[in-house]
Amino acid sequence: MSGLLAFFSRRALVAAVLASAAVTAMPAQAAPVEPLVSPQWLNEHRTQGDVVVLDIRSMIDGGGAEAYAKAHIPGAIHSDYDKAGWRVARNGHPLNVPSQTALEKLIGETGIDEDSHVVIVPAGVGATDFGAAARIYWTLKAAGHPALSILDGGFAAWQAAGLPVESGRNIPSPKIFSGKFNEALLAELEQVEQHPNATLVDARPASQFAGREKASLAKAYGHIPGAINIDSASFYDPAANRLRPKAELAAIAAKVPEGPVVTYCNTAHWAATDWFVLSEILGRPNVKLYAGSMVEWSADPKRPIESSRTRWDDVKKALGMGL
């Protein structure tokens, strides 16, 4: 019996050694990807093979290809938010989400595949500029990309930190990106028309929400009935040129009740910031972006709209005193 016990003891020892070796040989688990990364983090990780630094400066922030060529984060690829194809005319509406096929082509030609960790770099000059980064972040995630971040404070924060820059242009090496579109992130018109269980969050300024003003592309003044208003600019600290601290974001978003949420604005640009804060920073589940937004909603005069606009507002507009 003692020989049998010794046999099993030796087998147990060998198994333990092999198990230990297997654990040691396993690659270290990758750190979770944060939705916002600091300039210092990016400087430490930008040369890793899977990191793609995506500079998105455009006319929206007063920059674009010329600003990028003059100075950018070393190794960064430029993809103009306004011109590269991140927003296109589709389904009869401008500035819409590209088709999955068009997205895969755009993403691959930008040098991004499923293994990339994409760090989106806005100019870092204002709330609208951050909205561009949030919209591209949402677009990439909706296209099925798994690892995304935005540089907190953008290129302005990078420069303020005294980190290195380079000039010229980096040409991306095209890759094959193949993703599955995440329908859970996109609200279609029909879903917005039938939203008994979702809270609509209007990300436009209060004047547009109330109907005192409107964007030129929108056909009517006011907002989708039942919506609540959280101006995307309220999430942004203009002095620091970055999103406010998480506790402040949570306090601003506290007016959004629990349950499904759909964010919208005029063309889903400002709405992307509200989506990003609610979904990615505060971790709210079931938050969608209505890409058609007020431009699509107001295109049909039969769709209901709530507005505080008065006849006096119309008179002032006729006299050139208002919008």
Q: Are 243 and 277 in contact (CB under 8 A)?
A: yes
**pTM, two decimal places:** 0.88
196 & 276 share domain? yes
Distance CA 3, CA 267 (A): 78
- Joined together, the tokens standing for residue 321 give 């005193």
Please say which residue of 149, 180, 211 terminates a domain: 180
At 264, which helix (H) or strand (E)?
A: strand 261-264
Say which CATH number the domain at 90 has: 3.40.250.10
Residue 14 lies in a domain: no
Taking residues 79-85, report their average pLDDT. 97
Assess if residue 280 is contained within a domain.
Answer: yes
pLDDT tens digits for range 14-48: 344 334 443 343 333 356 799 999 999 999 999 99
DSSP string over 59-95: GGGT-SHHHHHHSB-TTPEE--TTTSSSSEEETTEEE
317, exposed or middle or buried, with CB in 10 Å at 0-12, 13-18, 19+? middle
pLDDT of 315 reads 63
Domains: count for the chain: 2
Q: Which H/E stretch holds residue 320?
A: none
Provide the domain limits for residue 272. 184-318
pLDDT tens column, 198-234: 999 999 999 999 999 999 999 999 999 999 999 999 9
Q: Which of 148, 180, 212 is the last residue of a domain?
A: 180
In our burial notation (b when 16+ CB lie closer than 10 A, e otherwise), range 159-172 reads eeeeeeeeeeebee
Q: Is residue 10 part of a domain?
A: no
| Claim to verify: residue 172 and residue 198 sit in the same structural domain | no
- 268, 295 contact by CB (below 8 A): no
Q: What is the pLDDT of residue 316?
A: 63
